[in-house]
Amino acid sequence: MSAKEMTAAVTSPAAQRNPKRWLILVVLCLSSLLLVIDNMVLNVAIPEISTDLHAGAQDLQWVIDGYILVFAGLLLTSGSLSDRCGRRLVMIIGLVLFGAASLLAAYASNPEMLIAGRVVMGLGGALIMPSTLSILIVVFDDDERPKAIAAWSTVAMIGMVGGPVMGGIMLNHFWWGSVFLINVPIAILAIVAALTLMPESKGPARPTDLPGMLFSVVGLTSAVWTIIEFPGKGIAGTWPGLLIALITLSAFVIRELKAEHPMLPLHLFRNRVFTGSSFSLVLVTFANAGLMLVLTQYLQFVLDYSPIKTALAFTPMALSAIVFNMVGAGLTPKLGVRPVAVAGLLILAAGTAILAMLSVDSAFWMPALAMALVGAGAGLAIPAAIGALMGAVPPEQAGVGSALNDTIQQTGGALGVAILGAILSSTYRNAMPSSAPTAIRENIAPAMASGNHDLIAAAKEAFTTGMSTTFWSAGACVLVASVAAFFLMRGAKAATGEGLPVEAPAEPELVEAR
């Protein structure tokens, strides 16, 4: 071999690959699995939490929204922090916070304590998620990165299937707090593996946009609080929150337009494909977040399913999402992003329409069919929309685009839980007899525990009516998303491994774990 050939071999991408990269991927998958399992098992536990902690509909919404708001509000900032302080370090801090907060949530004695635990879990999740993607991008080269991302996504889908089933089994044998204890051993295992196997890496530090972070967190929190409280308090009781939301979100937009290093690069929205993909993702996650919260209560309170049967009822959705995720990956190169995304959104809308037609005595096959369609539609539409969004982002801003993608989805989820939860709450209240006790008119859980057969029957009918209105609203949002995708995603291209940023050797600082 000539000297030139030897130099080429040593400097080739294959020669520079981290020998521990696939073990590192296992750590990243464990970290992502932690977040997926937590959110999935929580849905199964909602009815028992409602009964045991005497949590009202708004408390339950904040159990979910408290996590989502902190998670979404800090994602972009935590990505910048990981570049500056070290990605492994930030991820490990996130895992520690997530595990400790899970213990707090598991032994919560009132809704406020549980909400506090979920807020800290949101902080931990915000530190974990961007770091995992950043580390994956650094460790894997262009050739292997798509395979690594596919494995990472598949593990998340497995968590969607296994999470509810595991939660149902835990609830059948233990108390509701046990679903949060699942997180602790996974977090410990991920921390030990990260310290043992994972290299530390840093990137070019960008100044943290503290004003932008503050405006976004305060604005989103105020907006969602207003939406949650509006059905019960009206404009007279919620106008301060609405005013704060309008002021701070306006300030956020002005700040991001003028900042040299904005947390949210608003100029990306000038791209038609990016805007269409973002809008579609917001509406889809908006619909899906409300779906999980509402359907879990319907299955357990109205159809009298056990926790394990409720968990199994979600299995068709998760399995079809896995299958159609792979189908979409095969179809996208042949048909393009837009047809796959639009087809997925229409299938998702059909599944939501079937959910809207459920009754107080629907057979098991009907919600199972609906959820299979929802999973199939989401499995096609969401990866296609994410691919289009990332494909529209310049390669040098792909890291920002990744964090922005997560932020968009989490914001849509927060608004979905708030708005669709408010629709369900107000419709349920209006459908209940005026003679019913106030607590029972506010929440179905006290009605089920009352032992009064007439009240139980009325509550089931009222809840089903509210659920139907909620799902028709969600389905309408998905149809709007399909129209937006059709007109705005024309010419969209999916992101490939080549579009993801690989930091230049002179810029990042890489320190092998000792």
DSSP string, 54-89: T--HHHHHHHHHHHHHHHHHHHHHHHHHHHHH-HHH
* pLDDT by position in tens, the chain (length 514): 444 433 333 333 443 566 677 777 877 777 777 777 777 677 677 778 887 888 776 777 778 777 877 776 676 677 667 767 777 788 889 989 998 999 998 898 888 899 999 999 988 888 887 667 667 766 776 566 656 666 666 676 667 666 667 777 777 778 888 888 888 888 888 888 888 877 776 665 566 677 887 887 788 778 777 776 776 677 888 888 889 989 998 998 898 888 877 777 777 777 787 888 888 888 887 787 777 778 878 888 888 887 777 777 777 887 888 788 778 777 777 787 788 888 989 999 999 999 999 888 888 888 888 888 988 888 888 777 777 776 676 655 555 666 666 667 766 776 777 778 778 888 888 888 877 777 777 777 777 777 778 788 888 888 899 889 999 988 898 898 888 888 877 765 554 433 333 333 333 333 433 3
The pLDDT score that the predictor gives to residue 27 is 77
Single out the residue of 125, 110, 131, 123 nearest to residue 39, CA to CA: 125
- On the 0-12 / 13-18 / 19+ scale of CB atoms within 10 A, 428 is buried
Residues 150 and 383: beta-carbon distance below 8 Å: no
Rounded to whole angstroms, the Cα distance separating 402 from 122 reads: 18
Helix (H, G, I), strand (E, B) or coil at 202: strand
The pLDDT score that the predictor gives to residue 243 is 93
Distances (CA, A) of 404 to 118, 161, 220, 311, 440: 22, 26, 15, 31, 41
Rounded to whole angstroms, the Cα distance separating 271 from 261 reads: 19
Rounded to whole angstroms, the Cα distance separating 34 from 32 reads: 5
DSSP character for 199?
Answer: P
The pLDDT score that the predictor gives to residue 187 is 87
Rounded to whole angstroms, the Cα distance separating 345 from 364 reads: 24
The pLDDT score that the predictor gives to residue 157 is 64
